[in-house]
Chains A and B, each alone.
Chain A
Amino acid sequence: MAQRKSPPYPNAPLVLTVLEIRYPELSDGIGRSAQHQMREALRKELPLVENVTEEQLELSIGAPLPAAVQRRTFPRFVTRDRTTAMVVKEEALVLETTSYGGWEESFRPLVALVVSAFAQATPPDGVLRVGLRYIDEIRVPGIDAVAGDWREYIDEHLLAAADPGFIPASLKPTVWQGLVQYRTASDSTLTVRYGPQDGHAVNPRGSTRRRNAPPPGPYFLLDSDSAWQASTDVPEFDVDHVLEICDSLHEPTREFFRIAVTDKLRDEIFSQDKGKSS
């Protein structure tokens, strides 16, 4: 499938890109040998490896037994600037970045690398769900309130709930969020959460570092979650098949972003150099 290029804007509103692949739980967990193998395969792109410890509670309903706590550790592979990270657990792999450099230019190659490394180190029995998610915080200089006038920057269809022609004057919109799910293929959906918000959609003090996070303030959220889910049969975990799924998931998100924002926003805000934008 031919991919249309989606070069990142100099001042893109994208703050987090996430890929999650869920699979049947690894029967033997993630052993040291598998971790070592992945570490070697990812040494160049994700050179730092940290162990994350989680505590799992086992509760016995109806029995007077104290909750048992089990501790498990799993690897987290991180870039040196800590803006890209991957976590592998028994039931899912998550790759996320706050410094997205374009689908074809950087993220897809990284996806291909981590999926291949994972499949070689500890191949799961199949693939259950693949999700590709883009979270945008669209900030416009001059809009100082959540209920500001976004009409020149966001397509009016996404502002319908606060349209003065629709709502009576006695109702003052303060904050709102819409959610819509589109079917994009027989086994795929695009779920979009959108609306003006305040603060940050993605925590600037999270474990995956956000470079140059702006101060909290009004922004328009575009959270596009494109997902494929195994309907009946669980296909094998084939690297090429997973990448095909990823490619098919990327296109709807790109298309929705294109129609959601106006040319004025693209030209005046996204295309500016970062130093001049705000």
Chain B
Amino acid sequence: MTMLDAREATGRPTGASIGLFETTDATRTIADLVEEVGFLKNRTRIHVADSNGVHDSAQQLHSAALDQLLRTSASQKTRESLPDLLEGLSGLGFAWRDLGRVVGVSVPALRKWRQGESAAGDNRLRVARLAAFCDIVREQYLIDDPASWLETPIHVAAPTTGLDLVASDRFDLAFRLAGDDGADPETILDDFDPEWRERYATSVEVFVAADGQPALRIRKD
């Protein structure tokens, strides 16, 4: 039989910073004996949920800290001249068309800025933010060639790249991608574009033909 807990009647005790020991070893009923394992299972489930909660909280904190670092670094970068910032990014290997896409302007507009024409404040900030992002991933995530890394598709089943993330101001996802905590590329893509699977689904599949060579054919389903 199940002994009902007196705490159900009196409510939960006020939490204490020290553990309180059960002072007696009670004679167990059948329910105690049989359900102890169930109780342990429930406690384990709670511990797992707690651990996941702590992990999520830590991840949110880390993400917030990176966001703050990016803002601070970008603000510092805006003090540098715009031509220097653009030359620096070009020196890292970024193509002008990719820089134009991230900043949201045309390649001729970039050329004018390199030649000394002034840029709007928000455009200047976008250039500075990309430069700051590259500094952070190089220093904190040891990514030596951020330009090539950002041009690489995140997942084999979709053409989306890291550049697409930063061009859409999803630096948080780009940081997750850079992190070495085993971030699943699919979850990053899910967060970036929930319909990516349908969007990039193909009706063609690769198969090994009779001659042993790879070949293409239309999917049956």
Contact = CB atoms under 8 A, between A and B. Distances in A.
Contacts of B26: 131, 133, 191, 225
Contacts of B27: 18-20, 131-133, 225, 227
A94 B33 contact: yes
Contact of B6 (A85, A177, A202): A177
Nearest to A180: B24
Interface in B29-74: 29-31, 33-34, 37-38, 40-41, 44
Contacts of A197: 6, 9
A76 B30 CA distance: 9
A146 B28 CA distance: 26
Q: How many B residues are at the interface, by size bracket?
A: 20 to 34
A67 B31 CA distance: 24
Given A57-B41, A132-B27, A227-B25, A200 B33 contact: no
B44 A57 contact: yes
A125 interface: no
B1 interface: yes
A191 B28 contact: no
Chain A interface, DSSP helix/strand/loop, else mixed: strand
A114 interface: no
* Residue of A16, A18, A198 with highest tally of chain B CB at under 10 A: A18
A206 B30 CA distance: 10
A203 interface: yes
Contacts of B8: 199
A199 B4 contact: yes
A231 interface: no
Given A132-B27, A197-B9, 6 more contacts: A18-B27, A18-B30, A87-B34, A175-B9, A181-B24, A206-B31
